[in-house]
A and B are shown apart, each in its own frame.
Chain A
Amino acid sequence: MRITVTVDGTSYTDDVEPRTLLVHHLRERLGKVGTVVGCDTSNCGACTVHLDGHSVKSCSVLAVQADGCEVTTVEGLARDGTLHPVQQAFHDNHALQCGFCTPGMIMQSIDLLADNPDPDEQAVREGIEGNLCRCTGYQNIVRAVQDAAHHMRPGAGPEAERVAGVDQATGSRAASSVGGGGE
């Protein structure tokens, strides 16, 4: 089947087998290897990407289902070398060790903050429940998500990945620059 998917701002048209999973399409055809596969039962969430602005486990979506959609992966978050506030917060709070779960964890955290811009600890823990990490014990991930929330304007949500989350002049994060919508 011929599909057209926009991934991280670039449109790709490909012939794919109907059974091809989105994650395999991303990795094997488009070279988007920043998104990884950690299990085969959709439990670990390492493959989480955004499909039209909402997080999905890309091992549980067929590539053909993404036809005509916009996909954002962890590779498409930074703008002009400036990290997304959630990426920055993961770094600032030592929220990763081996980093294998990190792409999915970051994408899920952005989705969580879209639904709940100011989550308490329990809300973060429940919001990332579908993403497994074996290294960190989650404590610093929770801290990072809450830290990112403080740096993002309420309601930034999926829009946050389309705009610069950081004041580019100073390199510090400015909440006002997040969530303005559109590029």
Chain B
Amino acid sequence: MTSTAEPEVGRARLRKEDARLITGRTRWTDNMSLPGMVHLAVLRSTEAHAKIVSIDTSAAKEMPGVIAVLTGDDLDPGGQLGMPCAWPISPDMKSPRRPVLAQGQVNFAGEGVAVVVARSAAEAEDALASIDVEYDELPVVLGMENALAEDAPLVHEELGTNRNALWVFDSGEAGSGGDVEQAISEAEVVVKRRFRQQRLVPAFMEPRSCVVDPTAAQLTMWSATQVPHILKTMAALTLGIPEHKLRVIAPDVGGGFGGKIAVLPEEIMALLVAQKLGKPVKWTESRSESMVAAHHGRDQIQDLTIAARRDGTVTGLKVELLADMGAYLGLVGPGVPILGAFMFNAIYKIPAYHFACTNVFTNTTLTDAYRGAGRPEATFGIERIMDELAAELGMEPLELREKNWIKHEEFPYTTVSTLTYDSGNYEAATEKAKQLFDYDGLRREQRERRERGDPVQLGIGISTFTEMCGLAPSRVLGSLDYGAGGWEHSAIRMLPTGKVEVITGSSAHGQGHETAWSQIVSDQLGIPFEDIEVLHGDTQSSHKGLDTYGSRSLAVGGIAVVKAAEKVVAKAKPLAAHMMECSEDDLEFAGGKFTVRGTDKSTTIQDVAFAAFMAHDLPEGMEPSLDAEAVFDPENFSFPHGTHLCAAEVDTETGRVALRSYVCVDDVGSVVNPLIVEGQIHGGLAQGIAQALFEEAVHDESGTLTSGTFADYLLPSAADLPSFTTDRTETPSTTNPLGVKGVGEAGTIASTPAVVNAVIDAVRHFGVNDIEMPLTPMRVWQAIRTGASAAGGPGAEAGGGLGSIDSAQGGAR
């Protein structure tokens, strides 16, 4: 077995990961049990904003099984510790200290106030009720415009403002385009809209959990995290633990979607308690805890102004955002809306562009990355306003897009926001999508239904999107003041028996890296797929990495794997030549074999690996190893794109929306495993559609999260979603040797505006030009009747009754 007959890359390989997952032989963090292990339970604030007058833990300490009850002052007497934020987007960004447990004041409902340590999880939970906290209420700051009002109470008095930061890009100043104010004043048509990106909950299925073992040689932490490497370095920095004394393991991790890119107060707490007690410690959150304490996503108010000529040529775009940070800054929270700065211009040639984002503090759960992180928000804004502009001009919306998009022969193309798109073919993806969708047929049916006044109206929604993936070139991150580079690491171990271990700094939590990386290495080295094991998520074996987020794993981590494999081959070559007594120049490597050119003389890379292991007869000066490692830093982002078309039926008598058909043609470049790609698209679509129709994190006027369980936060079930028609075009990325672009976020980014555009298209003739998400039946019905875009209560009718709010009261706005 030295060669594989057909290339592995491109094959629909069934996943290696499945075997343990379908049989229950999994290693979730909460499965861990260690001798003498104790359990943590966190008491969470019921108040959104209050001074803590006193915390009485005496009764709790007497409860059965309780070992300790600790407050913020117990864990951090000096008040020195602060949870890290790694993305200070501006030099004068306001950054409040986020304590491990609240000290003196709570700033959102759900913030940790005290922690119980007990022999069992149930006993720890029991004792929470016996802790007596006296609060002195402060005025609650909710809603970004309220927070910015002149006389607004302050979330953090010491900052003197609720404004976290202002971040501006202007094409006139940057020299990448014209002056947007001039474009607007000279425009033949100007359309202005305010869109709202509601707050969402990432809602990974596995609740967060961590276990700390202080009895090992290294302090060892297992955590349900997307970012074990970042967590290790950040935890070391935060607590002053020597970095080499800390090991972090992300075992099987049950989804993340950005929600597990974090350094958690609970992780820091577990490290502190474990060291204090000298015992292994476990913390596992309940779902209700996760809903209030894990970071949320989105939550923006978007003011867009688009300028155009009567013929549809867009001449300028001005974007003014408010982004809700919540009460504190998450690990990368302040930068999330800034990622959108590069994406509002999307696939279009926009000659003048201005982007300004104001980040705002409120007394709510903090926000941070959620699938797409800034780019879904941007795509929504531009794709919604393109439809509005089309309506204003009386133009077919696809035609308007085509008039403005970058033509395939114009790549590489440097955009007004200064990114250089390497490749793309919007025409091809759109044409394919139109055919699969029967675009013309559905438009015909739409006209017919409208003419006969059918109570069920049909709407067609379009989203032609691109995104920046493969985060990221380190120099670009540096220019954005991001607190890390964007490279990724890989290493390959050539074992004596011809098997291979691949080490990756990417940290899979459902993506299928074990399968995809095996396919890549199989092709690179000619080693059978089955003979390759991928090691990840343990800083002891995978010692270097920057983890998994931002659709970066394949486009950055996968390329590092390729580079490491190339080094293995380069190291093997002199030994192969030595073994076959020929010149290196006479050797060619293919299908796992070094062959002497023009002869049938060959040796396999496995044989070379064995010879290196034996080391009895090596070329002069060669080290006895073929193992190699590589760190890859991309030169550019990758730019997946696609055309998504949605047909929605809207029952105008009930407001109910039914998705009749959803077609997407995505171009994610070359594909390693089409099965995995399709799965990523499906899941992404479900999340994007859910934002459009179902989900919203709602706070009441006291700052309590009322959508705080899965009974109230409407995660779609199988019965709520249609089957999708997915297809692809393949325009390889030119910025990496595999031609890949990344696919993790595409479905989510593209689908939300496609669905909302479809619903608006169905009811536009009733005078409706916007409905705020989620497009619940009540909101759609109210919009048809009154034209109001946000009537009917924020998601009020979506809940199952456990704390769903009164629609008359509305949510915290």
A interface residues (Cβ-Cβ under 8 A, vs B): 17, 19, 24, 27-28, 32-41, 43-44, 46, 73-75, 77-78, 83, 87, 90-92, 94, 96-103, 106, 121, 124-126, 128-142
Mark out the residues of chain B between 703 and 734 whose CB falls within 8 Å of any chain A CB in the assembled complex: 709-711, 715, 717-719, 721, 723-724
Interface membership of chain B positions 274-289, coded 1 if the CB is closer than 8 angstroms to chain A and 0 otherwise: 0000000000001110
15 further A-B pairs in the complex, CB-CB below 8 A; given A43-B711, A44-B287, A94-B678: A27-B31, A33-B26, A33-B30, A41-B709, A75-B23, A97-B683, A98-B206, A100-B205, A129-B718, A134-B203, A134-B686, A135-B255, A135-B679, A140-B682, A142-B718
Mark out the residues of chain B between 117 and 156 whose CB falls within 8 Å of any chain A CB in the assembled complex: 120-122
Q: Is B509 an interface residue (CB 8 A)?
A: yes
* Set of chain B residues within 8 Å of A40, measured between Cβ atoms: 286-288, 709
C-alpha gap A70/B683 in the complex (Å): 35
Report yes or no: B21 in contact with A99, Cβ–Cβ below 8 A.
yes
* Set of chain A residues within 8 Å of B715, measured between Cβ atoms: 43, 132, 134
Q: Is B15 an interface residue (CB 8 A)?
A: yes
Q: Smallest Cβ distance from A111 to chain B, in angstroms?
A: 15
Q: Is B512 an interface residue (CB 8 A)?
A: yes
Report yes or no: B252 in contact with A99, Cβ–Cβ below 8 A.
yes
- Do A124 and B718 form a contact, CB below 8 Å, given A36-B206, A99-B17? yes
From A27, A28, A78, A137, B685 is in contact (CB under 8 Å) with A137
Q: Is B439 an interface residue (CB 8 A)?
A: no
Which residue of chain B has its CB nearest to the CB of A124?
A: B718
Which residue of chain A has its CB nearest to the CB of B717?
A: A129
* Set of chain A residues within 8 Å of B203, measured between Cβ atoms: 134
* Set of chain B residues within 8 Å of A139, measured between Cβ atoms: 682, 721, 723-724
Which residue of chain B has its CB nearest to the CB of A138?
A: B718
Output the residue of A34, A121, A129 with the most chain B CB within 10 A: A34
Report yes or no: A41 in contact with B710, Cβ–Cβ below 8 A.
yes
From B205, B684, B724, A132 is in contact (CB under 8 Å) with B205
Q: Can you offer 20 A-B residue contacts whose CB atoms are under 8 A?
A: A24-B122, A34-B24, A35-B24, A40-B286, A40-B709, A41-B802, A43-B709, A43-B710, A44-B710, A78-B23, A99-B18, A99-B21, A121-B723, A128-B718, A131-B718, A132-B205, A137-B682, A138-B718, A139-B721, A142-B718
Output the residue of A78, A102, A138 with the most chain B CB within 10 A: A138
- Do A138 and B686 form a contact, CB below 8 Å, given A40-B288, A92-B14, A129-B719? yes
- Do A136 and B679 form a contact, CB below 8 Å, given A94-B14, A96-B22, A97-B512? yes
Report yes or no: B18 in contact with A96, Cβ–Cβ below 8 A.
yes
Number of B residues contacting the other chain (C-beta, 8 Å)? Answer: 59
Q: Is B676 an interface residue (CB 8 A)?
A: yes
Report yes or no: A132 in contact with B24, Cβ–Cβ below 8 A.
no
- Do A101 and B205 form a contact, CB below 8 Å, given A140-B679, A141-B718? yes
Q: Is B413 an interface residue (CB 8 A)?
A: no
Q: Is B204 an interface residue (CB 8 A)?
A: yes
From B22, B257, B685, B802, A106 is in contact (CB under 8 Å) with B22
Output the residue of A33, A83, A97, A129 with the most chain B CB within 10 A: A97
Task: State the majority secondary structure of interface residues on A.
Answer: loop
Q: Is B669 an interface residue (CB 8 A)?
A: no
Report yes or no: A135 in contact with B510, Cβ–Cβ below 8 A.
yes
Interface membership of chain B positions 11-54, coded 1 if the CB is closer than 8 angstroms to chain A and 0 otherwise: 00011011111111110101100000000000000000000000
* Set of chain A residues within 8 Å of B721, measured between Cβ atoms: 125, 137-139
* Set of chain B residues within 8 Å of A90, measured between Cβ atoms: 18, 22
Interface membership of chain B positions 480-508, coded 1 if the CB is closer than 8 angstroms to chain A and 0 otherwise: 00000000000000000000000000000
From A39, A74, A92, A102, B287 is in contact (CB under 8 Å) with A39
Q: Is B675 an interface residue (CB 8 A)?
A: yes
C-alpha gap A6/B636 in the complex (Å): 58
* Set of chain B residues within 8 Å of A94, measured between Cβ atoms: 14-15, 675-676, 678-679
**Pairs of residues from A and B, 10 with the lowest C-beta to C-beta distance, nearest first:** A34-B24, A98-B510, A99-B21, A100-B254, A137-B686, A137-B682, A43-B710, A39-B287, A33-B31, A97-B510
Q: Is B474 an interface residue (CB 8 A)?
A: no
- Do A125 and B718 form a contact, CB below 8 Å, given A83-B23, A103-B24, A135-B255? yes
* Set of chain A residues within 8 Å of B675, measured between Cβ atoms: 94
C-alpha gap A35/B28 in the complex (Å): 11
Which residue of chain A has its CB nearest to the CB of B224?
A: A100
Report yes or no: A39 in contact with B710, Cβ–Cβ below 8 A.
yes
Which residue of chain B has its CB nearest to the CB of A126?
A: B719
Output the residue of B121, B122, B675, B747 with the most chain A CB within 10 A: B122
Which residue of chain A has its CB nearest to the CB of B687?
A: A134
Q: Smallest Cβ distance from B647 to chain A, in angstroms?
A: 17
* Set of chain B residues within 8 Å of A137, measured between Cβ atoms: 682-686, 721, 724, 747
Q: Smallest Cβ distance from A24 to chain B, in angstroms?
A: 8
From A36, A75, A91, B18 is in contact (CB under 8 Å) with A91
Which residue of chain B has its CB nearest to the CB of A31?
A: B33
Q: Is B268 an interface residue (CB 8 A)?
A: no
Output the residue of A17, A46, A126, A137 with the most chain B CB within 10 A: A137
* Set of chain A residues within 8 Å of B710, measured between Cβ atoms: 39, 41, 43-44, 132
Mark out the residues of chain B between 57 and 90 whose CB falls within 8 Å of any chain A CB in the assembled complex: none
Report yes or no: A73 in contact with B24, Cβ–Cβ below 8 A.
yes
Q: Smallest Cβ distance from A90 to chain B, in angstroms?
A: 5
* Set of chain A residues within 8 Å of B14, measured between Cβ atoms: 91-92, 94
Which residue of chain B has its CB nearest to the CB of A96?
A: B21
Report yes or no: B18 in contact with A136, Cβ–Cβ below 8 A.
no
Report yes or no: A134 in contact with B23, Cβ–Cβ below 8 A.
no
* Set of chain A residues within 8 Å of B678, measured between Cβ atoms: 94, 140
* Set of chain B residues within 8 Å of A121, measured between Cβ atoms: 723
